[in-house]
């Protein structure tokens, strides 16, 4: 780990460090190196029409210094005072905005997913953001559909595009833009739709128990019992397992931090079974951590054998089942949030919505059954008039 010379504290790659010059900052690069140390990206900060504006000047490895950045800042301030135009930010291209986004978010957990989604948008690199329209995104969507990609994957790409543009406006590279969304694309994917009936789940569990590849069936059952994401069991090491207190620690989880996962007796028993066959990772195959592709292939086979609908994701649907059943049992939202390691309660609300809809079905079913019984009961009653005071 690199150390900041001044105070011997560990370097933070997401922090703007001040210099001896007002309004001049720098940020360390996680990937770039200069003279054996993390490279520095210099930026300046000044105000335009009462709003703070950040402007990146360049890398130390390209000859940029704090003093040079200070001189640029002084020029900007003079231009503002004299009413001169600043460098035209309206012509910012999507490629330039994406480059800045990746540089400033290099340490984020989701950066690999962002890079993957960016690949479908690269032909927009040389187009000015102000000139990109829904028509351009429709072309992206059509190319992806021609490859057999599902709507939900395109939506993730579209969300990344809007995220980049929003960030560019937040740091004052461009004016605020309205998000671009193709209106004709169904957007029900933010809701939980992969709901298991008891019969479906029983069939799936029966296949899991009988499946000949034990390591795979163990992981699938573990996901069923814990609601973990596909990648999380695969990176668990024995050093992450606390047998005495019955929990595992998910390192570098999607939330960006280490997450503690409490184990049930059955999920703990699955881990205990691995002690005689694995060394470093809890779930190993041929002496190495079980590969995600290998797991997904066999999970799909198991789901097909159990008659699970083909549009159900064989692993992530089990996570949805876990959250939905917690909600249907009346588990508080904050508990579900922690159990599934959600970043916010908005994500957890999807499971509560599903639980409410399922509850409504059961209520209607009970009411209908009572009406049916009422029809079949022959009540031989006659009206009795009671004389006397109306007490």
- For 342, the 3-state DSSP assignment is coil
Total domains, the chain: 3
Looking at the structure, tell me whether residues 315 and 206 fall in a common domain.
yes
Would you say 233 and 222 are in contact if contact means Cβ atoms under 8 Å apart? yes
Single out the residue in 54, 81, 108 at which a domain terminates. Answer: 81
**One-character DSSP codes across 324-364:** HHHHHTT--HHHHHHHTT-SSHHHHHHHHHHHHHHHHHHHH
- Determine, yes or no, domain membership for 250: yes
pLDDT value, residue 380: 46
Axis-axis angle for helices 214-226, 292-305 (nearest 10): 80
Average pLDDT over residues 196-202: 91
- Determine, yes or no, domain membership for 143: yes
Looking at the structure, tell me whether residues 203 and 308 fall in a common domain.
yes
Would you say 227 and 339 are in contact if contact means Cβ atoms under 8 Å apart? yes
- pLDDT tens, residue by residue, 138-182: 999 999 989 988 777 888 899 999 999 988 887 778 877 888 988
Average pLDDT over residues 39-47: 90
Looking at the structure, tell me whether residues 206 and 184 fall in a common domain.
no
Looking at the structure, tell me whether residues 70 and 100 fall in a common domain.
no
CATH code at position 162: 1.10.150.130
| Bridge partner residues of 284 (DSSP) | 289
At residue 345 the predicted structure's pLDDT band, cuts being 50, 70 and 90, is: confident
- Determine, yes or no, domain membership for 23: yes
Looking at the structure, tell me whether residues 153 and 295 fall in a common domain.
no
At residue 70 the predicted structure's pLDDT band, cuts being 50, 70 and 90, is: very high
Single out the residue in 135, 165, 190 at which a domain terminates. Answer: 190
pLDDT at residue 90 above 80?
no
Axis-axis angle for helices 214-226, 198-210 (nearest 10): 150
pLDDT value, residue 85: 55
Q: Which of 40-44, 262-266, 367-371 has the lowest mean pLDDT?
A: 367-371
pLDDT at residue 388 above 50?
no
Average pLDDT over residues 299-314: 92
Average pLDDT over residues 33-39: 88
Average pLDDT over residues 213-242: 94
Looking at the structure, tell me whether residues 68 and 158 fall in a common domain.
no
pLDDT value, residue 378: 45
Looking at the structure, tell me whether residues 325 and 212 fall in a common domain.
yes
**One-character DSSP codes across 120-188:** GGGGGTTSBGGG--HHHHHHHHHHHHHTT--HHHHHHHHHHHHHHHHHHHHTTSS---PPP--TTS--G
pLDDT value, residue 381: 43
- For 248, the 3-state DSSP assignment is strand
Looking at the structure, tell me whether residues 102 and 73 fall in a common domain.
no
R_g of the chain, CA atoms, integer Å: 29
Single out the residue in 171, 190, 209 at which a domain terminates. Answer: 190
Residue predicted with more confidence, 266 or 360? 266
Looking at the structure, tell me whether residues 217 and 147 fall in a common domain.
no
Q: Which of 104-108, 261-265, 314-318 has the lowest mean pLDDT?
A: 104-108
At residue 354 the predicted structure's pLDDT band, cuts being 50, 70 and 90, is: low
pLDDT value, residue 384: 42
pLDDT value, residue 217: 95
Would you say 21 and 70 are in contact if contact means Cβ atoms under 8 Å apart? yes
The residue behind tokens 């090491």 is: 237
> What domain range is 303 assigned to?
198-350
pLDDT value, residue 150: 79
- Determine, yes or no, domain membership for 7: no
Looking at the structure, tell me whether residues 253 and 285 fall in a common domain.
yes
CATH code at position 223: 1.10.443.10
């Amino acid at each position: 780990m690199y150390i900041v010379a001044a105070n011997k504290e560990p370097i933070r790659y997401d922090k703007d460090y001040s210099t001896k010059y007002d309004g001049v900052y720098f940020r360390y690069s996680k990937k770039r190196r200069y003279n054996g140390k993390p490279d520095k990206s210099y930026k300046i900060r000044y105000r335009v029409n009462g709003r703070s504006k950040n402007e990146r000047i360049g890398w130390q490895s390209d000859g940029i210094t704090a003093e040079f950045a200070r001189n640029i800042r002084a020029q900007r301030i003079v231009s503002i005072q004299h009413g001169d135009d600043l460098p035209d930010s309206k012509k910012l291209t999507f490629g330039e905005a994406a480059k800045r986004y990746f540089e400033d978010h290099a340490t984020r957990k989701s950066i690999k997913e962002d890079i993957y989604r960016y690949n479908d948008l690269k032909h927009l690199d040389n187009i000015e953001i102000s000139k990109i329209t829904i028509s351009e995104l429709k072309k992206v969507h059509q190319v992806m559909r021609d490859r057999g990609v599902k709507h939900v994957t395109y939506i993730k790409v579209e969300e990344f595009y809007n995220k980049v543009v929003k960030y560019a406006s937040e740091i004052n590279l461009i004016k605020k833009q309205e998000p671009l969304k193709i209106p004709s694309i169904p957007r029900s994917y933010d809701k939980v739709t992969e709901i298991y009936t008891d019969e479906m789940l029983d069939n799936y569990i029966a296949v899991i128990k009988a499946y000949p590849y034990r390591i795979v069936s163990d992981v699938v059952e573990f996901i069923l019992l814990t609601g973990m994401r596909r990648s999380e069991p695969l990176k668990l090491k024995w050093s992450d397992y606390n047998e005495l207190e019955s929990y595992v620690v998910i390192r570098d989880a999607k939330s960006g931090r280490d997450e503690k996962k409490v184990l049930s007796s059955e999920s703990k028993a699955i881990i205990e079974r691995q002690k005689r066959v694995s060394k470093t990772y809890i779930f190993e195959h041929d002496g190495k951590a079980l590969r995600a592709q290998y797991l997904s292939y066999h999970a799909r086979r198991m789901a097909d054998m159990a008659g699970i609908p083909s549009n159900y994701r064989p692993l992530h649907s089990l996570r949805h089942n876990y959250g939905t059943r917690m909600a249907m049992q009346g588990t508080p939202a904050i508990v579900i949030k922690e159990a599934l390691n959600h970043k916010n309660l908005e994500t957890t609300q999807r499971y509560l919505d599903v639980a409410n809809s399922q509850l409504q079905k059961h209520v209607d079913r009970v009411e209908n059954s009572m009406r049916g019984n009422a029809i079949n009961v022959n009540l031989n009653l006659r009206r009795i008039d009671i004389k006397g005071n109306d007490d």
